[in-house]
């Protein structure tokens, strides 16, 4: 049965909210619940350059426990209870346990449709999760479906380069000179002390205007214009532009897949190009309204997953969600800690996710619902953190560019919002990595099975 938003549902700013908005809401002094030991204990095994998302998933021997059974000192953002070296001793069964995986525990495991609500702010990775479910549980994408994605790939490329050009013009307009063509001068000229280093690689406005004027074909039988592709690639590979991206990425909006798509332009602009699975996973298609998909996960589970539009303008449609939902998967883009909203450029995007999470987890509609928290885009997060210090956006963070401490801090912030004491199962994810998502969803399946058995009185 559908539900409607109520005036009795109080949505408040996230406790302890800080950042670009310049406002701070005092944190509650009462302990915030977490698992008996650090739910991100697996992070201790990884460094900034080698962190693998699956190291913190609920895998055999290192499962992540629900974060509603322990305590955390609310005064210390890094004091997630327990030591990273502790061993988990909870009763959570391994996802590799055959009796649960096959739905044979006591031969009475329930077989029913499981409704999963996929929530999160815009561009947090929800639609990518849906695509991964199709790959893992619905035989993937047909040749026809891959061909249909071609025009969306083209549009993504155009969006990426237009946003990059807009950022350059707004922040460093001197990088673009009037007239002529994009060029990189030779080594001899570049070493001439009379020529400023900023002018050794010249980008001319005429080429920029030709790039901006290009509209990709809507007919999937037509290729991306190879001459325009060459101009885009020359612009993107220009050393001044690469330096600009590194230094100013947090100051303007640039899609996460920009590097991937622009680096792939020679392949994508080929006449016989057909998108592969990675292209499809990287392609952004804005979700509007509610998109639902059904699949079988195994262990007697028929899954009905609902993806809800994440942009602010879409959230009013969330009143049509469900009061009988089994599980909420809430996606958070870790990499958005230094970005602002498209709809409101004074609002930090991670803070927006915290506010949204607060409104969901403390809603009276979800008092008996378990929540799986996907801390997503760990790959982009690891790439950005050394160049864009988190403390510039969250002054109470003090862990430097240590990705483990940064991830724990963000998890701590989300735990702070859990005033209802719901079970939270956190996982660090990379939604574009199929093997990672397969591993994480094995743990999600175990969570669903355990909860179903408890609800039926078996456990």
307 in active site: yes
- Do residues 228 and 320 share a domain? no
- Do residues 389 and 264 share a domain? no
- Do residues 386 and 254 share a domain? no
311 in active site: yes
Domain tally for the chain? Answer: 2
Q: What CATH number is given to the structural domain containing 50?
A: 3.40.50.300
SS3 of 414, please?
A: helix
Domain's final residue, options 248, 274, 300? 274
**Candidate list 93, 128, 429, 432, residue with the active-site label:** 128
Q: Please report, in tens digits, the pLDDT of each residue of the chain (459 residues total).
A: 443 433 344 333 333 443 333 333 333 333 333 333 333 444 433 333 333 333 333 333 333 333 433 333 333 433 333 333 333 333 333 333 333 233 333 334 445 788 999 999 889 999 999 999 999 999 999 999 999 999 999 999 999 999 999 999 999 999 998 865 555 544 443 444 433 444 456 788 999 999 999 999 999 999 999 999 999 999 999 999 999 999 999 889 999 999 999 999 999 999 999 999 999 999 998 767 788 899 998 777 899 999 876 556 665 556 555 667 889 999 999 999 999 887 677 789 999 999 999 988 998 888 888 999 999 999 999 999 999 999 999 999 999 999 999 999 999 999 999 999 999 999 999 999 999 999 999 999 988 888 777 766 655
How far, CA to CA in Å, does 361 sit from each of 45, 224, 355, 367, 447?
30, 45, 10, 8, 18
**Candidate list 59, 92, 123, 369, residue with the active-site label:** 123
- Is position 93 within any domain? yes
Q: What CATH number is given to the structural domain containing 244?
A: 1.10.400.10
- Do residues 61 and 173 share a domain? no
Angstrom distance (rounded) from CA 167 to CA 229 = 20
- Do residues 413 and 393 share a domain? yes
- 391 within 8 A of 398, measured Cβ to Cβ: yes
- Do residues 171 and 130 share a domain? no
SS3 content of the chain, % helix, strand, coil (to 5): 40, 15, 45
- Do residues 297 and 435 share a domain? yes
**Is 281 marked as a binding-site residue?**
yes
Domain's final residue, options 228, 250, 274? 274
| Strand partners of residue 292 | 306
**Is 311 marked as a binding-site residue?**
yes
- Is position 210 within any domain? yes
How far, CA to CA in Å, does 400 sit from each of 51, 69, 125, 188, 397?
16, 29, 26, 40, 8
**Candidate list 307, 336, 351, 352, residue with the active-site label:** 307
**Candidate list 20, 284, 349, 445, residue with the active-site label:** 284
Domain range enclosing 268 = 150-274
**Is 308 marked as a binding-site residue?**
yes
- Do residues 165 and 90 share a domain? no
Q: Which of left, alpha, beta for 272 (phi over 0: left; psi -120 to 50: alpha)?
A: alpha
**Is 124 marked as a binding-site residue?**
yes
Domain's final residue, options 242, 274, 306? 274
**Is 19 marked as a binding-site residue?**
no
128 in active site: yes
Query: Please, where are the H alpha helices in 7-149?
Result: 98-101, 126-137, 143-148
């Amino acid at each position: 049965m559908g539900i409607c938003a109520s005036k009795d549902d109080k949505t408040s700013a996230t406790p302890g909210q800080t950042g670009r908005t310049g406002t701070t809401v005092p944190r509650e002094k009462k302990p915030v619940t977490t698992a008996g030991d650090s739910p991100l204990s697996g992070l201790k095994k990884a460094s900034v350059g080698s962190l693998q998302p699956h190291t913190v998933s609920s895998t055999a021997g290192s499962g992540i426990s629900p974060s509603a059974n322990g305590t955390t000192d609310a005064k210390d953002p890094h004091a997630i209870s327990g030591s990273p070296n502790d061993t988990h001793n909870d009763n959570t069964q391994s996802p590799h346990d055959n009796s649960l995986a096959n739905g044979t525990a006591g031969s009475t495991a329930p077989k029913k449709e499981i409704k999963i609500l996929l929530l999160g702010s815009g561009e947090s990775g929800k639609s990518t999760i849906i695509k991964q479910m199709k790959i893992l549980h619905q035989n993937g994408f047909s040749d026809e479906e891959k061909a249909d994605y071609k025009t969306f790939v083209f549009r993504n490329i155009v969006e990426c380069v237009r946003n990059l050009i807009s950022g350059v013009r707004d922040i460093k307009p001197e990088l673009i000179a009037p007239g002529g063509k994009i060029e990189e001068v030779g080594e001899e000229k570049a070493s001439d002390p009379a020529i400023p280093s900023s002018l050794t690689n010249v980008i001319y406005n005429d080429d920029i205007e030709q790039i901006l004027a290009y509209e990709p074909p809507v007919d999937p039988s037509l290729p991306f214009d190879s001459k325009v592709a060459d101009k885009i690639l020359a612009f993107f590979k220009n050393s001044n532009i690469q330096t600009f991206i590194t230094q100013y990425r947090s100051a303007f909006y640039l899609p996460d897949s920009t590097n991937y798509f622009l680096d792939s332009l020679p392949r994508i602009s080929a006449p016989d190009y057909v998108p592969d699975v990675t292209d499809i996973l990287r392609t952004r298609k804005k979700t509007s309204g509610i998109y639902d998909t059904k699949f079988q996960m195994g262990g007697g589970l028929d899954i009905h997953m609902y993806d809800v539009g994440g942009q602010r303008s879409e959230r009013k449609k969330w009143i049509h969600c469900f009061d009988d939902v089994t599980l909420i998967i809430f996606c958070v883009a870790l990499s958005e800690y230094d970005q602002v909203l498209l709809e409101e450029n004074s609002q930090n995007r991670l803070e927006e996710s915290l506010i949204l999470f607060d409104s969901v987890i403390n809603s009276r509609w979800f008092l008996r619902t378990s929540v799986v928290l996907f801390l997503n885009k760990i790959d982009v997060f690891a790439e950005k953190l050394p160049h864009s210090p988190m403390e510039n956006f969250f002054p109470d963070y003090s862990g430097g560019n240590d990705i483990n401490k940064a991830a724990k801090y963000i998890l701590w912030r989300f735990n702070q919002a859990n005033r209802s004491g719901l079970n939270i199962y956190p996982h660090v994810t990379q939604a574009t990595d199929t093997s990672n998502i397969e591993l994480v969803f094995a743990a999600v399946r175990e969570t669903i099975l355990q909860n179903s058995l408890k609800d039926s009185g078996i456990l």
